[in-house]
């Protein structure tokens, strides 16, 4: 039998990151530097599926005039954040951007604390266990541990999941302060207006599960035949962090996830919180 390989690194999740800059700026906010925002948004366009982009493509992705994009790419090349391919003139990310991600991950002391707990659960469940945080309407992986026998899931630090479909995203939403939750829910409603009639009840059920049990589920909602359970912790310096355990449904059935793995994930959360308190 051929075992399917589930790989979340080749999805179109990155497209959800691109938002019109005007929607992020309060018209009365005189501290907001639009030129800087445009440059940073340009960098978000690059991803494993689109590593090479020209000015015309960047203009289409961001909605910025091509002349503006041309000046931005020129500046980003000068600063070492982009480099230009010699064969086609398109741009790709340069080593300068790597320092940001490496520094951010390296400075997360919590990784050293949580990884042993994540490894223990991953080995027991033969599944992937991950830690993530919110980035706009997405969840981004900060740490991923694969179970000893895991051969069917490939997830990497930097992978993105939709906040409203993934167990991690639902746990994040369910554990937010009310004002932040209302803001994000409205943003989801606005962005996915046509699908809201299906999204709303799934999130309401997730919130009820979190209130009742302390975790949320996703049974094939984000990726077909992939099940996951997630919970969240408010860290004093890193903010709201979510933890999940997920695998293909033939590894983690709904029954196993609900009756066995979910309580163990909650136990892992309590151990992490206790360690944070002691440290």
CB 221, CB 202: distance < 8 Å: yes
Question: Looking at domain 6-96, which CATH architecture does it have?
Answer: Orthogonal Bundle (1.10)
User: Which residues have C-beta within 8 Å of that of residue 56, sequence separation ≥ 6?
Assistant: 66
Q: Minimum mean pLDDT among 5-14, 81-90, 256-265: which range? A: 5-14
| Reported confidence tier of residue 5, pLDDT bands at 50, 70, 90 | very low
> How do the domains of the chain map onto residue ranges?
6-96, 108-278
More reliable by pLDDT, 115 or 87: 115
CATH class belonging to 108-278 = alpha beta
- For 10, residues 6+ apart whose C-beta sits below 8 A from its C-beta are 48, 49
* The CA-based dihedral angle spanning residues 37, 196, 208, 219, taken in that order and rounded to the nearest 10 degrees: -90
pLDDT at 3 over 60: no
Q: Is the pLDDT of residue 26 over 80?
A: no
Mean pLDDT within 69-85: 95
Structure tokens at 233: 């912790």
* Predicted TM-score of the model (pTM): 0.81
Within the chain, where are the H helices?
A: 21-24, 34-44, 55-62, 66-79, 98-106, 110-125, 167-174, 178-191, 196-213, 254-256, 262-278
Pairwise pLDDT comparison (258 vs 37), residue with the higher score: 258
How many other β-carbons are positioned within 10 Å of the β-carbon of residue 118? Answer: 23
Contact 119, 111 (CB under 8 A): no
Average pLDDT over all residues of the chain: 87
pLDDT tens-digit map of 124-137: 999 999 999 999 89
């Amino acid at each position: 039998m051929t075992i399917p390989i589930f790989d979340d690194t080749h999805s179109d999740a990155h497209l959800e990151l691109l938002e019109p800059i005007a929607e992020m700026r309060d018209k009365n906010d005189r501290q907001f530097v639009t030129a800087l925002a445009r440059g940073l948004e340009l960098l978000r366009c690059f991803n494993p599926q689109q590593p090479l982009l020209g000015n015309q493509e960047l203009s289409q992705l961001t909605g910025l005039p091509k002349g503006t994009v041309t000046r931005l790419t020129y500046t980003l090349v000068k600063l070492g954040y982009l480099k230009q391919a010699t064969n086609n003139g398109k741009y790709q990310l340069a080593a300068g951007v790597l320092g940001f991600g490496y520094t951010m991950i390296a400075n997360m002391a919590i990784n050293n604390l949580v990884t042993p707990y994540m490894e223990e659960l991953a080995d027991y469940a033969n599944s992937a266990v991950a830690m993530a945080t919110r980035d706009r309407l997405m969840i981004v992986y900060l740490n991923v541990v694969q179970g000893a026998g895991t051969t069917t899931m490939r997830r990497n630090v930097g992978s993105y999941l939709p906040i409203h479909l993934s167990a991690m995203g639902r746990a994040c939403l369910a554990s937010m302060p009310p004002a932040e939750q209302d803001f994000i829910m409205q943003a989801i409603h606005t962005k996915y207006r046509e699908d809201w009639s299906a999204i709303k009840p799934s999130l309401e059920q997730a919130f009820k599960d979190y209130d009742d049990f302390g975790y949320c589920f996703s049974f094939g909602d984000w990726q077909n035949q992939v099940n996951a359970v997630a919970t969240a912790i408010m860290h004093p310096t890193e903010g709201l962090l979510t933890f999940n355990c997920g695998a293909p449904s033939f590894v983690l059935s709904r029954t196993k996830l609900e009756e066995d793995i979910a309580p163990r994930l909650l136990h892992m959360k309590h151990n992490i919180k206790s360690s944070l308190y002691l440290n």
